[in-house]
Structure 1
C-alpha cells in the first residue's frame, strides 16, 4: 500500500469491479480510452490488472481518498503488449484513469508521483513509457509534470496517440 496526504493506493482487487465498471461506462471518462467498453471487456482488463502483480511484482493500483474512502480511479505501471514496437512495448507503461467526478483536483499527479517513487524504490530506475491521445490535454499535463516527454506518434485502435518516455535522469519528485 501507498499512502499520500489525500490518497490511499493498493493493488487492484476483484472487489473493485463495480466501481471500475461505473467509471469506464461513463462516456466522458472513457472517450480517450477507445470508448465505453462492454462488461466482458472491462472484466478481462480488470483481471489483466490483477495479474500484473503476480507476473511482474507491480501493476495497477486502486486509488481511494483517505478522507472518506471514495473511489478515485486507477493508476500504475504495467506491460500491455500493444504492438507499438521495440521502443515502447518492452518498457513499463504508466497509465492512469480517474472517475469523472474526481477530475481537476490534482489526484492524478499526486498518485502518479507516489506510484513512480514506489516503483523506483522497488524496481529501480529505468525508462518508462506512456501512450496518450493527443486531445487528452489533462493527461498530457500530468505526464509533462511527471517528466514524460513526447518522442513519437502512433495509431492505436484506429486513433492517434502520442508516445511519451520518462528517462531515469528526468524523473520528477
Structure 2
C-alpha cells in the first residue's frame, strides 16, 4: 500500500518518503500550520519521527497520511489522510481511523483540503467499506471545523487533548 497514489484534477496524494523530511519540517515551522494543532513548531527530531510514523502506518494498517503535491508544479502543499494516533480519548474515538489535514498557508483558501479529503474518503470507502472515521479539531480552528462539517462529519463531544480544548467528530463512510 505504500505505493498508493491518489490523483485529483489538481493534486497528487502519495505516502511520505524519508526524502520528504525537509519539506515536512519546513511546513511545521509555519505559524499558520502549528497554531491550532501543536501550538508550537515541530522540532527536527520530532518531525523525523512523524515522517517515519507516517511511513509505518502504511505497513501496519494499509492506510496512512498522504503528502499533498500540486500536480502542475510538484510543490508540497501539506499532509492529508487517515491515521491511528492512539490519542487516549476513549473508546468512542481511539481505534477508528482518524482523518487529519494540514496545509501550508500558500495553499489555504483554495479548496485543496476539501478536494484532497474527498478523494481520501472515497478511496477509504472503496478499500474499507462502511467504516467509521473520526477527527478532532480545536474549536478555534473555524476553517477546519467548517470543512469537517462540509465533509459530512458530525460533532460528537468536546474534550481536552494535551491541555487544549477540542471537538471530536465522526462520520461513517458508505
TM-score clears 0.5: yes
1:1-20 Cα deviation digits (max 9, x unpaired):
11100001111111111111
Query: Which blocks of at least 5 consecutive residues in structure 1 are unaligned?
Result: none
1:59-107 Cα deviation digits (max 9, x unpaired):
0001111111111111000100000000000100000010111111110
Match of 2:114 in 1: 109
Choose which of 55, 58, 69 in structure 2 pairs with 1:53. Answer: 58
Residue 150 (structure 1) aligned with residue 155 (structure 2): yes
Deviation at 1:168, TM superposition (A): 3.2
Distance in structure 1 (CA, Å) of the matches to 2:97 and 2:158: 18
Q: What secondary structure does 2:100 align onto?
A: strand
Distance in structure 2 (CA, Å) of the matches to 1:78 and 1:86: 16
The aligned length equals 169
Match of 1:38 in 2: 43
1:10-66 Cα deviation digits (max 9, x unpaired):
111111111110010112211111121111111111111110000000100011111
Runs (4+) off by over 2 Å: none
Query: TM-score, normalised to structure 1's length?
Result: 0.95
Distance in structure 2 (CA, Å) of the matches to 1:37 and 1:22: 9
1:109-150 Cα deviation digits (max 9, x unpaired):
000000000011111121110000101011111111110010
Match of 1:164 in 2: 169
Match of 2:9 in 1: 5
**Residues 98 and 133 in structure 2, CA contact (< 8 A), matched pair in contact too:** yes
Deviation at 1:153, TM superposition (A): 0.9
Residue 63 (structure 1) aligned with residue 68 (structure 2): yes
RMSD: 0.9
Q: What secondary structure does 1:120 align onto?
A: helix
Query: TM-score, normalised to structure 2's length?
Result: 0.94
Match of 1:77 in 2: 82
Residue 95 (structure 1) aligned with residue 96 (structure 2): no
Q: What secondary structure does 1:112 align onto?
A: helix
